[in-house]
Amino acid sequence: MKLSSVLCGVFATLTVAFPKEYLGLATWGVEGYAKDNPIGITTGGKGGKTVTVTTAEELVAAVKGTEPKIVKLKGKVTLPSRLKVGSNTSLIGVGLTAHITGAGVDVYHGDNVILQNLKITHILDNDCITIRNSTRVWVDHNEFASDINQGPDHYASDGQVDIIRASDWITVSWNYFHDHWKSSLVGNDATFRDLDFGHLHVTYHHNYWRNMGTRGPAGRFGHQHIYNNLYEDFLYQAIHSRSDNQVLVEGNVFRGNTSEALSTYGLVIPMDSPNTCTCGDEELDGYANLGAKNDWGKAGVNITQKGNFYKADYKYKLTPLKLVPTVAKLGAGVGRIWILPEKGKTQPPPPPVACLSHLHVSTANDTCESLALEYSVSSAEIFINNPDILHCDDMVEDVPICLPFQCNTYQVKENDTCVSVSESLGITIKDFISLNPWSSGGAYKDFPFGKLVCTTPSDGHYNRTINKSDPADSNYADEVVPRPENADPVSNPECGRWYTVEEGDDCRSVLGQHDMSLSLFTAANPSVSASNCTMSLIPGQAYCVGPTKNALPESYPPPAYSRHGCYFSGNQIQDFYRPTLALSGPSSYELLAVEYANVGGFESKEEYVLLGKDYMEWGNSTLEECANFCTVALETDYFALQTKYYSPLEQDNFCICGNQLNPSIKKLRIEEESADEKGDNLLKFLLGVISTISICFIINKILNRIIVYTSSTAQPWDWSKEIVLITGGSGGIGSEMVNKFSRRNITVVSFDIHPPKSTLSTNAHFYKVDVTSPHSIDEAMEQVRREIGDPTVLINNAGIALGKDILACTADQIKQMVEVNLLAHFWLVQALLPSMIKQKHGHVVTIASVASFITIASNIDYSCTKAGIVFPYWVRTLLIQNLTTHSTFRDPLQEPKEAAEAIVDHVLKGRRGDLFLPGYAGLLSGIRGFPAWMQETIRDSKANVLRETSF
């Protein structure tokens, strides 16, 4: 029996629901902050007169004023200037015709505005829509576009929907954003903290972003609830939370060329707004919390800090994650707002779901097993073909179930396996898998989709499509959140997501929203019955829908049925021979041993290396799995793993099965090892040695971070109350550290003999101090304690260098260097350590130099005074300006900004231990263990450079 001939008759058709029905999985009316807020629901011009306009002049006149009004725009208008929309206005496009270009729309100092079903494109030098100093605005079912190929400074120089200047209670829903650089900005300036903080509450839901650059959205100082949005090809940065902004991100899907889905790192990337530097603008980090599970796709996520925005304080409807792409594409954009009827009105019912076999309506006691016995069909096919069945033993009543075509069935017994069943029936494993392609064909311990399997082909022919489930999807939350007051008393407290059941909720809708299996739900909520889940739910009570991985014991049983199966789709094989994974524990799949002989490697430009059509996409599976698939399941003589390259970065792997080598392919190697192969083996050996050394370095770095860098501070750090004292704070690394701490709103004190070169911020304080004098230090510390308080962080940064041979230095110069570079550290620690000990709270950082490991003839005095904690290599400061500009100097240089950033990060994370800058400079710490000749060679090479110049 040929594989391709069996595929045609195995499955019944799965006809999808009428597309409009999917939109019932989301809220079509106003939802979020534009609905639930202290002022009241956004109604726009409801109750006012309705007027239809067709020209720019009519439109400008119609939207003026604050009296309630509904303005309907029909056709395309080119605005000569920005359109000013007054309060209590609904501006709604008619059908697919309403198109605004030329200039955009402003809602300034307004309230209660609806902008709906409008297409706004190619707006130069300004936003498509700007909401400024306004409240209660609903931006719904619009389309925004320009031309992203023009770069960030043409059409895309401004946003599509920007919400600024203390605007509040906004919902942006069901919009189609595409082909633009900067999409939606919330809070337009990092200096407007006092104006914006406490405002900018914005809901983004069910929007479809495609081919965008940045800001989907980007927020400052506010709160944005971002759920059920679809992002496709968001090229640089989708969601960005910065400057103490908070976002709650849940149920979103990211697809295509989307590099970063979510970031709270404060840096405004150059592709967004490089105002002060081509490397981007630095701002404070934002906050992010994750609610219902997101599908990040291949995009990265960079959450530097989590906030307290765990839950939106209003009711909203989450679409099941796997349906978000379908629902967003069906519902977003113009021309959709009339698809669903308005409240109180009805439309003709959709056409009935087509089913080529028998349509069974589920009843209270139905299971996959009982229906399979009643109709003589495969129980697995009932489950796989009907996605409305959440669990075979917990069916929702009154759901239409399309049954597969009938076949002769066999009821699997307790100890049966695929092998034993096929042998008892007198058929091959290949035939058995073809009849029941959800099975792996190996020694299965359980049949995961039910106990009724087919032993003959189904007597019908039609196609179906199955969406693969991702076994890597996690039903677990990352960390525990506070338990709500209305939580089920017996629910597991180790929970990261909670859901409050509402009237009308059933288990299917609750688990669908949170992409959670029934078995995991009942394990996390013991009061819920697996056999009668819906009846167990109590409205108003919160249940755990996202336990952490530590919440349940390792012995937690896998579900009786799982969607992690393997199945055919039409005539193409999709992950045919994959193991079925339990939620916890090893795979239940076992490979049958296969003996094989290697006949060499081959290359083929266009064709497969084996003749025949039995092949499949194989991902990262092993050669042994391919061998098992071909020789055991398909009974072929040859198998091969073949890679097809579409580009240097894009490729697919295939497992090829056949009974004959393709005569046109080129053999790459012979059985005897050639000279080239010997060279390859040597290269592999050397690479192995290098890899081993690299792994050792990585392990060493990890152990340093765990053992050495871990903070020993008894009290937690509250940077709003800490005081950082930096010596040598008027120049070089010290000046950069002062700026970086002050920009983070941390109080910082600078001790230096020289005044700062630029004006300090209000939270930075300069004191003129001679650090070589204990008396000068004590006087300055008394003043600091009196005016500011006791410093909790000391950074000994002050240092000087002469760059001369020891014979060329005077006694006073040597004395001054020792006092500044070494003794001053003792005086400062003596002055600050008592208060740190008393508080059981403090951090001391000593800036040293790699020169302490390499004592050079022209630098002996400096090297002797520079052993400490932070060891930077050459840093571009005034200290070595003459040296670095000399033609003989070729060593790598660090900028003060880079060194300062690393030191500040070291302090803020409470780390201890040595810090080398750059990291590879740590290798120099081992120079004292080098052979003597090697030490002298290194010192002489550096000394030659210093002899030709001076610092």
Residues tagged active-site: 215
Integer Cα distance of 662 and 612 in angstroms: 9
**CA proximity to 839, closest of 725, 714, 710:** 714
Residues in the chain: 951
Round to whole Å and give the CA distance between 625 and 641: 10
Closest to 634 measured CA to CA, from 567, 577, 574, 571: 577
Is the alpha carbon torsion for 433, 438, 442, 444 positive or negative?
Answer: negative
Q: What is the DSSP string of 125-166?
A: SS-SEEEES-EEEEEES-EEE--GGG-TTTGGGS-SEEEETT
Residue 522 CB neighbours (<10 A)? 19
Q: Which tokens hold the place of 586?
A: 């090893």
Is the omega angle on the peptide bond into residue 918 within 30 degrees of 0, that is, cis?
A: yes
- Check: CB of residue 110 under 8 Å from CB of residue 138: no
Half-sphere exposure of 583 (CA within 13 A, CB side): 23
For residue 376 the two structure tokens come to 């003589």
Burial-class residue 276 by CB neighbours within 10 Å (0-12, 13-18, 19+).
exposed
Structure token pair of residue 293: 């599970």
Closest to 326 (Cα-Cα) out of 15, 12, 26: 26
Written as six digits, the tokens of 107 are: 């809602």
Determine how many CB atoms are found less than 10 A away from the CB of residue 365: 8
Tokens of 533: 């889940």
Q: State CA 227 to chain mean position distance.
A: 14
For residue 543, give the DSSP letter.
E
Among all chains, which residue has been given the structure tokens 């010290």?
Answer: 734
CA-based end-to-end distance of the chain: 86
Q: In what order do the strands lie in the sheet with 230-237?
A: 76-78, 99-101, 119-121, 143-145, 176-182, 208-214, 230-237, 253-255
Structure-block tokens of residue 181: 């650089």
896/888 Cα distance (integer angstroms): 22
What kind and span of H or E run contains 816? Answer: helix 811-818
360 CB contacts (<8 Å, ≥6 apart)? 371, 375, 400, 401, 403
Distance CA 113, CA 87 (A): 6
Tokens of 882: 């003459």
List CB contacts of 287: < 8 A, sequence separation 6 or more. Answer: 241, 244, 245, 246, 247, 264, 305, 306, 307, 308, 309
Specify the DSSP class assigned to residue 548.
B
The first and second tokens of residue 426, run together, are 């007198």
Asked if residue 154 lies in contact with residue 187, where contact means CB atoms within 8 angstroms, the answer is no
Distance CA 317, CA 320 (A): 10
CA gap 53, 73 in Å, rounded: 5
How far is the C-alpha of 232 from the C-alpha of 211, rounded, in Å?
Answer: 6
Tokens found for residue 732? 């070089």
The 8-class DSSP code of residue 661 comes to B
Distance CA 186, CA 272 (A): 14
Please report where in the chains the tokens 């402003």 appear, as a residue.
Answer: 106
